[in-house]
Amino acid sequence: MFYFFKLAAIGIVTVPAALATTLFGFFDPYGKRVYRISRFWAWMIVRIAGVSLKVQGLNHLSPKQPYIFMVNHQSNIDIPVLAQGLPAFQLRWIAKRELLWVPFFGWAMWAAKHIAVDRSDRSDVLAVLAKARRQIDQGVSIVVFPEGTRSGDGRLLPFKRGGFLLAVKTKMPIVPVTINGTGRILPKGDWRIRRGEIEITVGKPISMENYRPGTIRQLAAEVYGHVAQQLWSTSQTATAQAGRGGPAVSARAPIENRTL
């Protein structure tokens, strides 16, 4: 019953926030004003859930610089957690187009100018890159979940190429970000939000100066290593490997051929 009341409270907060975002989004070409509504919504979700955030590494970033944040994905609560954990940045997500059809949430996503991609249409990649570039030119940062879907067991899934291609094309620095704890608080396939602490570890920006489309696999391996190294589910394995003299994180990340 307690979980039901939490879910009901989230619905009560989400519906008016989504409607306000959708209404005002018509007059906000880059979604920069309505993002304030998103931040308030995220704050309410975190409070209702009973979640505390611990953020490390923000000192690595300049609030005046847009970035491409590459983040592991374990739970639906990752989105409000990131909006709260990275308060100095205007964030836009690259997400699958099907989410636009979700009542209220999908409408707000469209109005806030998040970037939807049709994964079944390879030709859609160029349009996505153009939309992302326009947002970056306005000082907006892009969030990419390079796994493409939520991990069911906390392990890091193979990365897709699209976000790395965007970084190389726009020359925007990539910031590896690791979220720990959301998979336990709201597991994939579950609706019951549990209390607890979530830890966000922000890595140092990676310059695109030495990367080009032909070196995307190398770039993805570097980002994969940074994210995996901070992941709780891999920390014990990494420690054991380091104790035996072996590498804590594989130098070669599994990369899917799919672009997005």
Report the pLDDT value the prediction gives residue 137, as an integer from 0 to 100: 94
Domain count, the chain: 1
Boundaries of domain holding 38: 2-243
Whole-number pLDDT of residue 260: 61
Q: Residue 197: phi, psi to the nearest 5?
A: -105, 140
Any idea what the Cα angle at residue 165 is, between residues 164 and 169, rounded to 5°?
120
14: CB partners within 8 A, 6+ apart: 41, 45, 104, 105
What is the per-residue pLDDT across 188-208, written as a single tens digit (0 to 9) for each? 989 899 999 999 999 999 999
- The answer to whether residue 254 is domain-embedded is no
Q: Residue 251 domain-assigned? A: no
> Which CATH number belongs to the domain containing residue 10 in this structure?
3.40.1130
Contact (CB, 8 A) for 147 and 73: yes
211 and 219 Cβ atoms separated by less than 8 Å = yes
Summarize pLDDT for 100-139 with one digit per residue, the tens.
888 898 999 999 999 988 877 766 777 888 899 999 999 9
Q: Which two tokens stand for residue 23?
A: 């209404």
Within a domain: 54: yes
How far apart are alpha carbons 215 and 199 in whole angstroms? 31
Residue 259 lies in a domain: no
257 domain residue, yes or no: no
Q: What is the pLDDT along the chain (260 residues), one digit of tens a residue?
A: 688 899 999 999 999 999 999 999 999 999 999 999 999 999 999 999 999 999 999 999 999 999 999 999 999 999 999 999 999 999 999 988 888 888 898 999 999 999 988 877 766 777 888 899 999 999 999 999 999 889 988 899 999 988 999 999 999 999 999 999 999 999 998 989 999 999 999 999 999 999 999 999 999 999 999 999 999 855 444 433 333 333 334 434 566 665 56
For residue 244, what are its two tokens? Answer: 């035996």
Residue 230 lies in a domain: yes
Q: What's the pLDDT score for residue 245?
A: 37
Is residue 149 included in any domain, yes or no? yes
Residue 260 lies in a domain: no
Closest of 175, 151, 207 to residue 71, by C-alpha: 175
Please tell me the pTM assigned to this model.
Answer: 0.89
